[in-house]
Amino acid sequence: MSPSSEKAASLSDVIAAANGIILGKDTQVRLALACLLARGHLLIEDLPGVGKTTLAQTLARLLGLQFSRIQFTSDMLPADVIGLSIFDRERSEFRFLPGAIFSQVLLADEINRATPKTQSALLEAMEERQVTVEGETRPLPEPFFVIATQNPSTQIGTFPLPESQLDRFLLRLELGYPDRAAERALLEGGGRRDKLPMLAANLTPDQIAPLQQEASETHVSPALLDYVQTLVEATRASPQFIHGLSPRAALALLSVARAWAFIGGRGMVMPEDVQAVLPSVACHRLQLANSTGHARPEDIANLIRSIPVI
């Protein structure tokens, strides 16, 4: 067994364990893991109660990462997220109280409830992987993985993320309702969050960085690059979308596809890998021309069907 597949095996243990908690959502779990391995951040857009928090906590626990959560509200200030300096009387100096952002896995719940100012503070930190408070730059922990959630149905009193901010999330997922069998198992087994504390970590935080490194080195052949380019060009040429995918999106697509292939235990990226991750990478980056809204997964499926794999 080659070293890479050994690591993939440990990753598949992680996936198997996560599937024991979040039932019937194998693809989403894999995508979330791929997102983490590709050093990106994840946006989950779905209704409350479908398991967003559980997914975040499960991933954090299984990977042995420190987890924190911010519930966003409209009166939240940037300092609440990134932290603030307060004067310590005993020592007569300013002491930095780190905010919730200083954790390895951050669940930013209902991010669209926060004001744009607070949102942008978080998003900047996500992008830079560091926080500058009062002239002092503090790096964020490694790995740093944000899972933000958005509730698409309630739009009153919310500040939906603008297009430019959406682009900062590598992937966007929808969890959706569980299927009948998974829901039955859930009902029979009781709430899954109770089992979380019993979950043992499969990996240590030190192991994550090498995994990320290795995932990013998954082999990509010229043939695959041709395929990716054809796909991206097709989004630009299609009259269905206002704009096509940006070069940054193309890079994102490639890095997620690499992580996906790596999780699958392959040393090379296949067109199938690109096809599997494309909806999650592209949907929130493409706006439909004939209606206000983002591309739906079926639009992406049609796009895939229009590009031959050779």
Partner 1 sequence: MPDPFRTFLQKRRIRPRSQTAPVALEHGAIPWLLAVAVATTLPHTEHLPWWLSLFSAALLLGRGWLWKSNSRLPARWLLALLVIVGTLGIGWQYRTLFGRDAGVALLVFFMALKPMEMHARRDGLVVIMLGFFLLLTHYFHSQSIPTGLWLLAVATLLTAALIRLHGGAQPVREIVRYAALLIAQAVPFMLVFFLLFPRVQGPLWGLPQDAHAGLTGLSDRMSPGSLNSLIQSGEIAFRAQFATPLPDRSKLYWRGPVFDTYDGQTWRASPLSTARSANKPATVETSGTAFADYTITLEPHNQRWLLALELPISLPEGSALWPAFETLAREPVRYRTRYAFRSALDHVANREESPRMLQQALRLPAGLNPRTQELAGEWRNTLNDPEQISAAALRYFREEKFFYTLQPPLLGQHAVDEFLFGTRRGFCEHYSSAYVVLMRAAGIPSRVVTGYQGGETNPVDGFLTVRQSDAHAWAEIWLDGKGWVRVDPTAAVAPSRIERGIGAALPAGDPLPALVRINTDWLLQLQRLRYRWEAVNNAWNQWILGYNPQRQREVLSRLGMEDPGWRSMASAMAIFSGLCLLLVTIWTLARRTRISPEQQAWQRFCRELERFGIRRAPWEGPFDLAKRVAREHPDLAQLARDAAGHFADLRYGMGHPRQLLALKECTRQLASHRRIKV
Interface ranges with partner 1 (CB under 8 A) = 219, 221, 223-224, 266-272, 275, 304-310
Shortest Å distance, C-beta 307 to partner 1: 6
Q: Cα separation of 300 and 226, whole Å?
A: 18
Residue 104 token pair:
């390895």
* Closest CA relative to residue 279, chosen from 303, 309, 310: 303
Measure the CA dihedral 61/251/307/215, to 10°: -40
Shortest Å distance, C-beta 274 to partner 1: 9
Shortest Å distance, C-beta 2 to partner 1: 13
User: Is the Cβ of residue 83 or residue 271 nearer to partner 1 in the bound state?
Assistant: 271
User: Is the Cβ of residue 107 or residue 295 nearer to partner 1 in the bound state?
Assistant: 295
User: Is the Cβ of residue 49 or residue 308 nearer to partner 1 in the bound state?
Assistant: 308
For 56-86, b/e burial (b = at least 16 CB within 10 A) is bbbbbbbbbbebebbebeeebebebbbbbee
- Using DSSP's 3-state secondary structure scheme, residue 108 falls into strand
Q: Cα separation of 197 and 101, whole Å?
A: 22
User: Is the Cβ of residue 73 or residue 238 nearer to partner 1 in the bound state?
Assistant: 238
Shortest Å distance, C-beta 261 to partner 1: 9
User: Is the Cβ of residue 91 or residue 305 nearer to partner 1 in the bound state?
Assistant: 305
Shortest Å distance, C-beta 225 to partner 1: 10
